Structure 1
Amino acid sequence: MRETLRITEIFHSLQGETSRMGLPTVFVRLTGCPMRCTYCDSAYAFTGGETRHLDDIMAQIASYDCKTVCVTGGEPLVQKGVHLLFKRLCDAGYSVSVETGGGEPIAGVDPRVSRIFDIKTPASNEMQNMHWPALDDLNERDEIKFVLVNRADYEWARELLQEKRLHEKAPVLFSPVWETLPPQDLAAWVLEDRLPVRMQVQLHKILWGEKPGV
């Protein structure tokens, strides 16, 4: 297995999403993604980056003196060397999560890693590239995320949630697209429909705006 990864950035910030929201976290953003979601906020990670050895990556992570790590992208699972990074991080005692866009198999991810699985909605324009069998591999350590553009996305996600009983597989997150879907609207819909989901907003954007490195 390759001991190098193409890295866009490594930084220390507060986790802005998921049940870990607010926790100081080291983010490892890998380069490259096969998807092109309409609302993507990390397109700068599609190309470029720097090839770095795992020893170098681990050393920078350790320098932040923080035991919570989020591996993200781009799409981190397209680089097969990421599995060795997962193993090394978990062996070193880090609490690790990975944010995956939903287009790649997840069964091979180290079972100690929490997998944040993003289900693409119709308005993302990437539903056709979802790896739907991955839903069967999710468990209570993982989280399922829907990024919602509009009311139609919400209704589609609601129906899938109820049809597949997704909340019985893993905690489910509903997230409004930043400055597109008013969070107050999404909150009202979730309450009205009594959905068993966690609504979230992107804390890092509230604190620092939409930019790299936060």
Structure 2
Amino acid sequence: MLYITEIYKSLQGESTWSGLACIFIRLSGCNLRCSWCDTEYSFTSGDKLSIDNILDRVEQLNCDLVEVTGGEPLAQDKVGELVQKLLDLGKTVLVETGGHMDINLVSKESIRIMDIKCPASKMSHKNDLKNIAKLTPKDEVKFVIQNKEDFLWAEKTIREYKLEKKCTVIMSTVFGLMDREELAGLILQSGLNIRMQIQLHKLIWSEDTKGV
């Protein structure tokens, strides 16, 4: 059994998979409290569902790309089993995690999209940087940037751990708190081989709209 806040189909709004139709399975609960979190409603809400119930709902939505997200999905014991069963169904599975729990709790056949929390999130002390050694080339690392200080911290981390050589590295702004043009300029000036992303779903729909 897993606690689930919502299951829905929308366009993937982040990562290198942005723009594709995707089923989202949002698990409830999170053991971080990022200052800019946009899914606080998932902290305490949710229904207890069996893995078979979840898979039935996924099949009804008829899409081969599935993202397991949260909250913090790795905080629930059965998430590894859910991910494996989705893979067994032939799904491409993205797992979005805060980066403070062991990413090997889910199969390396999934695509782990791992946040590394910057200082403005007030959760950077929770980063488990041992996860970097567990990344595969198909995984992705994401930095959410609120200000120039966050960018400089992220740049230092990327260079220190040679993240560009390990997997795709992505940066995005905290929506509404940092100018996207400013981040674009900082990335260009740095010479880093990384991808800037914009939360596509927040440009299509209102940033407060759920289920998209």
Code of the residue aligned with 1:123 in structure 2: it is: A
3-state SS of 1:10 partner: strand
Counterpart of 1:113 (choices 90, 110, 115) is 110
Provide the alpha-carbon RMSD of the alignment: 0.7
Looking at structure 1, the residues matched to 61 and 105 of structure 2 have their Cα atoms a distance apart, in angstroms, of: 28
Structure 1 SS opposite 2:155: helix
2: CA distance, partners of 1:108 / 1:41: 24
Q: 2:140 aligns with which of 118, 140, 143?
A: 143
Q: 2:95, 2:111 within 8 Å by CA — same for their partners in 1?
A: yes
Distance 1:65 1:51 in 2: 22
Q: Distance in 2 between matches of 1:60 and 1:107?
A: 26
The runs of at least 4 consecutive aligned structure 1 residues that moved more than 2 Å come to none
Is 1:61 the counterpart of 2:62 in the alignment?
no
1:196 lines up with 2:188 in the alignment: no
C-alpha displacement of 1:212: 1.5
Q: Cα distance, 1:129 vs. partner? A: 1.3
Distance in 2 (CA, whole Å) between partners of 1:73 and 1:106 is 14
> For the residues of structure 2 that align with 1:139 and 1:129, how far apart are their CA atoms?
22
* CA displacement at 1:11 relative to structure 2: 0.4
Give identity over the alignment, percent. 42
* Rounded Cα–Cα distance in structure 2 between residues aligned with 1:73 and 1:182: 26
Give a deviation string over 1:101-123, Cα, whole Å, max 9, x none. 01100123112100000000011
The 5-angstrom pairing of residues 3-152 of structure 1 reads 4-152=1-149
Shift of 1:164: 1.2
Question: What secondary structure, in the 3-state scheme, does the structure 1 residue paired with 2:54 have?
Answer: helix
For residues 111 and 164 of structure 1, the distance between their equivalents in structure 2, rounded to whole angstroms, comes to: 20
Q: Which residues of structure 1 form unaligned runs of 5+? A: none
SS at match of 2:104: coil
Q: How many residue pairs are counted as aligned between the two chains?
A: 211
- Matched residue of 2:202: which SS? helix
C-alpha separation in 2, matches of 1:9 and 1:65: 16
Determine the structure 1 residue equivalent to 2:176: 179
Paired amino acid for 1:205:
K
Q: What is the CA–CA distance in structure 1 between the aligned matches of 2:126 and 2:160, rounded to whole Å?
A: 21
Cα offset for 1:127? 1.2
| 2: CA distance, partners of 1:97 / 1:168 | 20
Amino acid at match of 1:212: K
Q: What are structure 2's unaligned runs of at least 5 residues?
A: none
Query: One-letter code of the match for 2:144?
Result: V
For residue 124 of structure 1, report the CA deviation from its aligned partner: 0.6
List per-residue Cα deviations over 1:141-197 (Å, max 9, x = no partner): 100000001000001101111111111111000110101111111011111121110
Q: C-alpha separation between the residues in 2 aligned to 1:34 and 1:97?
A: 20
